[in-house]
Structure 1
Amino acid sequence: MGIRSVLFGVSGPPVDLDTAAEPDHFRDLNLDHVVTAIVRANPDCRLAPYFHHPVRDADLVRFRQDVFRDLDDRDVLTVVERFAASMRTTRRRVELVARVTHPPQRDRWFLDIALAHLDMLTAFADGLDAVPIRSDGLRAVRDDVREHTRSPGFRSLRDRAERLRDRLAAVRYDMLLRDDKITVARHEAPDDVDFTARVLATFDRFRRRTPYDYRKDAVAAEVATMSTVEANVLDLVVRLHPDLFAELAAFHAEQRDLVPADVVRLDREVRFYLGYLAYLRPLRDAGVATCLPEVSETRGFVAHEVVDVALAAMVLAGGVRPVANDVRLTGAERILVVSGPNQGGKTTLSRTVGQLHYLAALGCPVPGREVRVFLADRIFTHYERKESIDTGAGKLAEELHRMAAILRRATPDSVIILNEIFTSTTVQDARMLSETVLETITELGALCVWVTFIDELSRHNDTTVSMVSTVTDDNATRTYKLVRAPADGRAYAHAIARKHGLTYEQLTARVAR
């Protein structure tokens, strides 16, 4: 049966997984920043396709969430991290050995790699047996890995490798050095004769004062090469034991694909979990709340103390704590109209809502105290883009074209995020176009977050809700806190200008100086 998928359960990965393209909305929601950071930290595992493939199966989402819950246990996490680290070491060593040009040496290093890999799988099975596992995903992995390590094929391979190692360790030979000639012969000196002290004394003046410890890494790049003299000596030893080294070469040839495909896949899949948790770790360490979203069977959206995950990672790196917000759409509410002063956090809130829906569909924890979502079939975004030089279309025409495409493809189960659209035309035309789009979305019943300067949209009907970004009492400083409140139509442009020294009075005073 092999090792079952810890991401997709008994059904296994979809056949088109590795061809999954980056979703259209990724860059608008800054999710590309998140995935790029995770992939950069795990360059050897091709993790991006997993993050490009959300699921709509609520049971599969909960399956993944249970794995994340298990990994919140430090002991479970340590066992899985050790497996992933060992797999990374195995890959690195196999790549290094492939560059060794001397066959007997290459075959010997490969035997060491094989033994280490077999030991690692056994230790992984033992480790999973020793920790509390509650998720179906990791329980299946534990059972399958244990079955694999107890299988006749695994035991036979391990016995064969250990016998080869022991036979090689028993090889003894004598070297006779005379002038520039080296003679290698079978070991014939009595066992109680030891020339070590005499040889060390003879070559003492050539000895490195701080000798390199070759036990540190048997296949490090500086070790996995031989000088010409060493290689020639080994060739002579091979001639003394042709059958043994022929068996060693056969072992390498037969086990060239050392790591089974399902173990390779398991490594990729656990790195999805580990990579995302590593990305969240600085947020958690800074006190940002995280949770596993509740997947609701009914439409609606509730989010308490949520932040933009990409922005939070960036500002925390600079020592700034992100501002959390609360959002909810319940009952008949489907459209959240966000307005208020510029640079007040409106676009960030819209991205946050989109991120929460997407990350929930991956089964991932999200930055927030409490989140409840309905699994969307698609997420559509409409953020500002540059005018198209290729098509010659103006900005308004391009916006209308994109908006029409969204409305054609969206369903009642979709999430639509609109950010400051129709800003390139007059206020009157923007209001007319926006009302037409809003009416279409209302009839469709899709969940929508709309950042706009047109306050009237928030009073369209009982499906629309208003949120506004807030400022300090002097109207000069943005708090990045958004609250449910009627839109008041104030843009606070004068406060922004005063903050940056750009009011009429400030400019004329500088000119006068």
Structure 2
Amino acid sequence: MAYFSLFYENPEQEETAKKQSQKQVYYRAKQKIQKKTYFVGSRMMVKEEAVDSSENLPSFFQDLNLDAIFLPWYDGAIPENIKELLFSFPHDTSIIAYRQEIYQDLEKPAVYLGFTEFRKGFTEAERLLNYRLQSDNPLQKGKYYLDAAILYYQTIKGLYYILKEHAVSTALTTLVPILAAYLERKDYYEFCLHAEDLKFKLEAIYCTLSIDGNVVKVSFQQSTEDYFGTVQKVFREGETGIPSISLFNQPVLNQFEGRLMSLVEKEYPKLCKEVLSFAAVSQPLVDEILMRLYRESDFYLSGHSLTERLKEKGFKLTYPEVQKQGTVNLQGICDIKLALTAGKAKEIALNNLLLQEDSQGAFITGVNQGGKTTFARSVGQTIYLGMLGMPVIANKAKLCHFDGIYTHFTVEENQLVNNGKLLEELHHLKEILMSAPDNCLYILNEMFSSTTAADTYELTNLLLPQMFQKSGTVLCVTHVPELARRRDKMTSLIASVREEDGYKRTYKIEPGEAVLSARAIDIALKYHLSGEQIKERMANGD
């Protein structure tokens, strides 16, 4: 069987991705506090317990809020066959180009409509075959098989002609002859013609229902109105409020439908026998390539839908230029989760990042609540989506190739693993260093915040050289400005403020020398929690 995938150019790339996806780093546990009530005598007591709230998602996926982007696509649970794509990074820039071309093809309305109709028809055909398995009436089983066979043929044929006319990507032009070969299989056309003929004859059967008290009389004859219309006139939902009925639209027939079906078999024995003989052959209607196309196309349609939502809000999207080595030049990026919740693009501050080819990364310092963590996330999201071949929010996006993204974001002390916060951080960082291949992006957010500034300085200086040894690029958000002042080949970025407006946060991250003050006093003043304000409130009895 020929190999085809919308994700990979060949099976070797797919196998590599599967292996890499299994080597991701996960949080050992993430806790949430759950309150439980119980009674001691007549007194109700409340007990707080730490419970595991972690999901089976790599730490980078959760830290970068990618779960908020992708989980809604899949109703909260990512399919196993998609995880190898989402949790791995292409080792070759040709894979990224391969996927970008597919997204660019989907921007053509005809191609997008073709895939939408393909998925709609395929989903309906799968439903019909599932009904066939559940049905206990042989003739109804046969009818579901006829409908599914015809629908598969029409769906594949429709996609074939659209792609033949409009597709230019390597993947979709490769798919065209595969679909053609499928449609041109020996006797397949005659098989579908036979199915359509039987379907037409079955659906040409008309009957008249006459209701006389508790007796329903059925007569078969040619009529301009089918029995569905006749029955619905009696049982329609209108001003009377009587609910309507739907016949032969579920796997198991009800008593009325079963009696009606037996009358059809008695009245048209030759046709029914022919339908049963046709369905007994049970020719496979699809193969693994078509099933795979059906599964994988959902990812691209969902991604296209996401980009269209962002465009409607006014965000500019571009396809990153990805080179094996080079600079990182991102202009006009932002956090996608914020972008999705924003009313318009102008409500969100856009940022830039420029890292030269010999750069080892950047320290991000500055005022508290100035957008440092959000900026780090936006960089990680942009690079990650770029590796998937998706267009990203940016005026310009030029990337060097990364073999992975590894993150460490500060978390609350976890009672579930019986370690202090610092020890748990060290365990997680050790696992990252052991698992990460060369040439990765590391995003570190406020490490070692449970220690003193001096200890954070020393521990960070011990950690970073090990990442640099693996040709890693590091984005480090830190509350210790001395780190940004004493390391070569690391860019210093700061969260800017408007001093004339009382150090108002602009949420812009710009190159600049790290400052000693994080301006936490501004936040305290905002919420009336400065030392003087607290004393005043206590004096007034507030």
Name the TM-score class by shorter chain: 0.7 to 0.9
| Alignment partner, residue 247 of structure 1 | 274
Report whether the alignment pairs 1:145 with 2:179: yes
Alignment partner of 2:140: what SS?
Answer: helix
Q: Deviations over 1:263-291 (max 9, x none)?
A: 12111111111111212322221111211
| Alignment partner, residue 5 of structure 1 | 5
How many Å separate the matches in 2 of 1:398 and 1:44? 30
Report whether the alignment pairs 1:448 with 2:474: yes
Alignment partner of 2:534: what SS?
Answer: helix
| Alignment partner, residue 362 of structure 1 | 388
Matches within 5 A, 1:300-449: 300-313=327-340, 315-316=341-342, 321-449=347-475
| Alignment partner, residue 288 of structure 1 | 315
How many Å separate the matches in 1 of 2:86 and 2:246? 34
How many Å separate the matches in 2 of 1:183 and 1:436? 89
Residue 239 of structure 1 deviates from its aligned partner by: 3.7
How many Å separate the matches in 2 of 1:77 and 1:205? 39
Q: Deviations over 1:273-329 (max 9, x none)?
A: 11112123222211112111111121432111111223322x326998322110011
Please tell me the residue identity of whatever aligns with 2:298. R
How many Å separate the matches in 2 of 1:206 and 1:284? 49
How many Å separate the matches in 2 of 1:431 and 1:45? 41
How many Å separate the matches in 2 of 1:90 and 1:386? 49
Residue 350 of structure 1 deviates from its aligned partner by: 1.5
C-alpha change, 1:510 and 1:96, in structure 2 (3 Å) is farther
Report whether the alignment pairs 1:31 with 2:90: no
C-alpha change, 1:89 and 1:476, in structure 2 (3 Å) is farther
How many Å separate the matches in 2 of 1:444 and 1:179? 86
**Which is further off, 234-243 or 421-430?**
234-243
Residue 99 of structure 1 deviates from its aligned partner by: 4.1
- Say if 1:468 and 1:483, in contact at 8 Å, map to a contact too: yes
Alignment partner of 1:27: what SS?
Answer: helix
Residue 72 of structure 1 deviates from its aligned partner by: 1.6
C-alpha change, 1:13 and 1:300, in structure 2 (3 Å) is closer
C-alpha change, 1:295 and 1:257, in structure 2 (3 Å) is same
How many Å separate the matches in 2 of 1:384 and 1:296? 32
| Alignment partner, residue 160 of structure 2 | 125
Residue 141 of structure 1 deviates from its aligned partner by: 1.9
| Alignment partner, residue 40 of structure 2 | none
C-alpha change, 1:207 and 1:328, in structure 2 (3 Å) is closer
Report whether the alignment pairs 1:83 with 2:110: no
Residue 85 of structure 1 deviates from its aligned partner by: 2.1
Q: Deviations over 1:429-481 (max 9, x none)?
A: 22111222233334443100000111122233331110000112334422111
- Say if 1:35 and 1:51, in contact at 8 Å, map to a contact too: no
Please tell me the residue identity of whatever aligns with 1:367. I
How many Å separate the matches in 1 of 2:322 and 2:109? 26
How many Å separate the matches in 2 of 1:205 and 1:411? 69
C-alpha change, 1:95 and 1:467, in structure 2 (3 Å) is same
Residue 97 of structure 1 deviates from its aligned partner by: 4.8
Matches within 5 A, 1:162-181: 162-169=196-203
Unaligned runs of 5+ in 2: 23-56, 240-244
Residue 124 of structure 1 deviates from its aligned partner by: 1.9
C-alpha change, 1:422 and 1:369, in structure 2 (3 Å) is same
Q: Deviations over 1:91-116 (max 9, x none)?
A: 33444454444332232233223223
Q: Deviations over 1:387-413 (max 9, x none)?
A: 343443211122223223333444541
How many Å separate the matches in 2 of 1:205 and 1:288? 51
- Say if 2:71 and 2:78, in contact at 8 Å, map to a contact too: no
Residue 58 of structure 1 deviates from its aligned partner by: 0.9
C-alpha change, 1:46 and 1:97, in structure 2 (3 Å) is farther
How many Å separate the matches in 1 of 2:444 and 2:209? 79
Residue 63 of structure 1 deviates from its aligned partner by: 0.7
How many Å separate the matches in 2 of 1:495 and 1:365? 38
How many Å separate the matches in 1 of 2:192 and 2:224? 35
Q: Deviations over 1:316-366 (max 9, x none)?
A: 269983221100110321120000011111111212222223222222222
| Alignment partner, residue 14 of structure 2 | 14
Please tell me the residue identity of whatever aligns with 1:151. R
- Say if 1:466 and 1:487, in contact at 8 Å, map to a contact too: yes
Alignment partner of 2:61: what SS?
Answer: coil
Q: Choose which of 258, 261, 266 in structure 2 pairs with 1:234.
A: 261
Alignment partner of 1:90: what SS?
Answer: helix
Alignment partner of 2:415: what SS?
Answer: coil
C-alpha change, 1:316 and 1:46, in structure 2 (3 Å) is farther
How many Å separate the matches in 2 of 1:355 and 1:65? 16
| Alignment partner, residue 495 of structure 1 | 522
How many Å separate the matches in 1 of 2:13 and 2:437? 26
Please tell me the residue identity of whatever aligns with 1:374. C
- Say if 2:313 and 2:344, in contact at 8 Å, map to a contact too: no
Superposed CA RMSD in Å reads: 3.8
Please tell me the residue identity of whatever aligns with 2:107. D
TM-score by length of 1: 0.85
| Alignment partner, residue 483 of structure 2 | 457
How many Å separate the matches in 2 of 1:142 and 1:166? 30
How many Å separate the matches in 2 of 1:172 and 1:225? 22
TM-score by length of 2: 0.81
Q: Deviations over 1:474-513 (max 9, x none)?
A: 3442211100111112211111111112123333343444
Please tell me the residue identity of whatever aligns with 1:263. L
Q: How many residues align?
A: 499
Unaligned runs of 5+ in 1: none
How many Å separate the matches in 2 of 1:175 and 1:482? 75
Residue 173 of structure 1 deviates from its aligned partner by: 8.3
- Say if 1:300 and 1:334, in contact at 8 Å, map to a contact too: no
Residue 233 of structure 1 deviates from its aligned partner by: 3.6
C-alpha change, 1:206 and 1:101, in structure 2 (3 Å) is same
How many Å separate the matches in 1 of 2:471 and 2:83? 32
Residue 10 of structure 1 deviates from its aligned partner by: 4.5
How many Å separate the matches in 1 of 2:128 and 2:518? 61
C-alpha change, 1:42 and 1:164, in structure 2 (3 Å) is farther
**Which is further off, 150-159 or 7-16?**
7-16
Please tell me the residue identity of whatever aligns with 1:37. P
How many Å separate the matches in 1 of 2:381 and 2:361? 17
Alignment partner of 2:369: what SS?
Answer: coil
Please tell me the residue identity of whatever aligns with 1:139. T
How many Å separate the matches in 1 of 2:494 and 2:394? 20
How many Å separate the matches in 2 of 1:208 and 1:385? 59
